[in-house]
Structure 1
Amino acid sequence: MPNGRSVLLAAATQAFANDGFKNADLRGIAAAAGVSPNLVRVHFGNKSKLWEVCLDAIVETVKPTMAEVAEIAGDDQKTLVERLRGIVACLAVFFASHPEVREFVTRHFADTPERASLVTNRLSKPAYETCREVFAAGIQAGIIRSAHPALFFALLSRASSQPASFPMLLSSLAPEIDTDVARNLMTETIVATLIHEPASVSVCPEAGQ
C-alpha cells in the first residue's frame, strides 16, 4: 500500500490511546490498518519506536492549535475576557476533531516514568506555556477563580476534551438536547462556568457631584 505507513501510524495511535502501551498489540494494530505485521518492523523497528513516532505525529497535530492559542492569548486588540473565551472555543474544537490526543495523553501520564515524561515535556508543558500568562492575568483580574494557572489549565483541558461518545452520553441523560449541538452547548457551559465577567463599577449620582 502506498500509504501503508500513514495508515499503520493512525491505527497505532488509536491502539495506544485506547489500550495503553503495554496492552497495544502489534498484530492487532497491523490488522486494524489492513497491512502485514512485518510492515511494523520495516517502517518502525519495534513497538517502542512505533510509540515514539506516534508521539511525534501527535506533537505535529497539536502544534497549529498551540500557535492559534498563543495568537489569541497575545491579541491586545481583544479584552481579556474575549481572549479567554477564544481559547476555550479553540480547545473545544481541537479535542472534538482529535479525541485520540486526549486518550493518548491520559493513558501515558500513568505509564512508565520515561513515557510519561516524554508526553509531559513534549505536549503538556508546551501547551501550558502558550496560555500560562493570560490565565495568570485572568486570575489576577478575578475573571478566573483559581489559585494557580496550572490548576485552571488542567481543569479546562479536561472539561474541553470530552470523549467522542459525549453527544450520545448527554442525549441519554437529556434526550431533549440535540446531539448535533451538544458540543457547542458544552463549550458555552464551560465558558459560563469558568470565565467570569469582571464586576462593573457603579457610580451613584451623589458621588459624581
Structure 2
Amino acid sequence: MTATPTPRGRRPKYLPDGRAALLAAAIDAFSQQGYDGANLRGIARAAKVDASLVRVHFGSKAQLWRACVDTLEAALAAPGERLRALSLDTARPVTDRLKEAISIIAAHAATHPEHKQFIAQHSSETGERGAILHGHLVMPVYEAMAPLIVQGMQAGVVRAEHPAMYFCVLVHALHPPPGSPVLMQLIAPQVGGDAFGPALLKQVESLFFAEPDNKKG
C-alpha cells in the first residue's frame, strides 16, 4: 500500500495552519503513546505536514511537548477564573456554587477530553516533565477549587477528610472512559448516548453533596 505523500508548499484553506495542526497531532500522540512512544515523523504525518516543520516551529521534541502543555493550560484559563470567582462569591449558598463549579469542570471535560488523557499518560513521570505537568495543568485547577471545597466542608454539604482527595475523586468521576456513553446506551438507553452527559452530571451532584447538618432532624 502506497503511503499518501506529505503535502508541501501552501496548505489548502480547509486545513489548519502547520503549527496548529502539529500541536493538535502532538497532543493526541503524547496522550495516547506517552512522551517516549510518540515520534516526530508520526506526529507530522498525522498533521499532514512535512516533518521539517516540527523543527521550524518548535525546535525539538521536548519543546513541542512543552508547547502542548502551554496549549492545554491556555484552555484552562477561562474555567479557572470562573472557579476562583465562585470561591470568592460567598454571598451565594455554597451548594449552588459547588454545583456550578462541577458544571464548569464537566463542560471542560466534555469539550477537552484530551486534557485528562494527557495528564493520565504523564502523571507518573518524575523530574522536569512531571513538575511541569503538575505545576501547569493540575495545581492551578485544584488551587482555584480548593477554597470552595473547604467552604463546603465547613457548611456540612461536603463529606471529605481533605479537599485534595475530594477534588481527585470528583475530577475522575467527571472524566469517565471515552466509551461510557456508548456502553450506557447498551445498558440503559435512557441515560446513554446524548443523554449521558446530563445524567452523569446529575448523578455526580447527588453523590458529592450531603444535606447540611443544620437541616437534619
TM superposition score normalised by structure 2: 0.88
Provide the residue aligned with 1:44 in structure 2: 58
- The answer to whether the 8 A contact 1:135-1:149 is kept is yes
Q: What is the aligned length?
A: 203
Which residues in structure 2 correspond to 1:118-157 (within 5 Å)?
118-157=132-171
Aligned partner (choices 43, 47, 55) of residue 69 of structure 2: 55
Q: Distance in 2 between matches of 1:100 and 1:149?
A: 25
Mark the runs of 5 or more structure 2 residues left unpaired by the alignment: 1-10
User: Aligned in 2, Cα 1:142/1:182: closer, same or farther, shift over 3 Å?
Assistant: same
Provide the residue aligned with 1:68 in structure 2: 82
Q: Distance in 2 between matches of 1:86 and 1:119?
A: 26
- Report the CA distance between 1:77 and its aligned residue: 3.4
- The answer to whether the 8 A contact 1:144-1:195 is kept is yes
CA RMSD of aligned residues (A): 1.7
User: Aligned in 2, Cα 1:138/1:60: closer, same or farther, shift over 3 Å?
Assistant: same
User: Aligned in 2, Cα 1:17/1:82: closer, same or farther, shift over 3 Å?
Assistant: same
Amino acid at match of 1:41: R
- The answer to whether the 8 A contact 2:191-2:199 is kept is no
> Percent of pairs identical after alignment?
33
The 10-residue stretch of structure 1 (64-73 or 85-94) with the greater mean CA deviation from structure 2: 64-73
Does residue 1:89 correspond to 2:103, yes or no? yes
Q: Distance in 2 between matches of 1:83 and 1:106?
A: 27
Q: Distance in 2 between matches of 1:202 and 1:182?
A: 32
Provide the residue aligned with 2:45 in structure 1: 31
- Report the CA distance between 1:140 and its aligned residue: 2.0
Amino acid at match of 1:139: M
Does residue 1:115 correspond to 2:129, yes or no? yes
User: Aligned in 2, Cα 1:201/1:10: closer, same or farther, shift over 3 Å?
Assistant: closer
Amino acid at match of 1:141: A
- Report the CA distance between 1:111 and its aligned residue: 2.3
Q: Distance in 1 between matches of 2:216 and 2:51?
A: 70
Q: Distance in 1 between matches of 2:89 and 2:21?
A: 38
Question: Could you list the per-position Cα deviations for residues 164-201 of structure 1 after superposition, in whole angstroms to 9, with x for gaps in the alignment?
Answer: 33211222332343411101100110010011231454
Provide the residue aligned with 2:29 in structure 1: 15
SS of aligned partner of 1:180:
helix
Provide the residue aligned with 1:194 in structure 2: 208
Mark the runs of 5 or more structure 1 residues left unpaired by the alignment: 204-209
- The answer to whether the 8 A contact 1:89-1:187 is kept is yes
SS of aligned partner of 2:120:
helix
Question: Could you list the per-position Cα deviations for residues 18-73 of structure 1 after superposition, in whole angstroms to 9, with x for gaps in the alignment?
Answer: 11111112111111111111111111111111000100111101111101111222
The 10-residue stretch of structure 1 (108-117 or 183-192) with the greater mean CA deviation from structure 2: 108-117
Question: Could you list the per-position Cα deviations for residues 61-105 of structure 1 after superposition, in whole angstroms to 9, with x for gaps in the alignment?
Answer: 111110111122222332010011111111001000000000011
Q: Distance in 1 between matches of 2:161 and 2:107?
A: 26
